[in-house]
Amino acid sequence: IDMQKWKYKVLEFSPTRSLMATRMDKKHIENELNELGKQGWEVVSSFITTDAHGSTKKIIYTLKKEFGA
């Protein structure tokens, strides 16, 4: 039996902070994920980390791609 083999990639995105607000650059994240999707990478999980006040510190994505693809 020939089992599929996978390679994995982890991406971390942090918000941009300014005096007035903290925000995620959604367009940048979308562009990054779309570019990796074109290369055969697939998002298999995502989660956020927060600070003590509940503000988003990071968004972390795990992607996989068939080994050799």
Claim: this prediction has a pTM higher than 0.75: yes
19-60 pLDDT, tens digit per residue, is 666 788 899 999 999 999 999 999 999 999 998 988 888 999
Q: What is the pLDDT of residue 6?
A: 95
Give the pLDDT score at 48. Answer: 93
What local confidence, expressed as pLDDT, does residue 19 receive? 67
Q: What is the pLDDT of residues 5-24, one digit of tens each?
A: 999 999 999 988 766 667 88
For residue 41, with 0-12 CB atoms within 10 Å meaning exposed, 13-18 middle and 19 or more buried, which class applies?
buried
Q: Containing H/E element for 22? A: strand 22-23
Amino acid in position 25: D
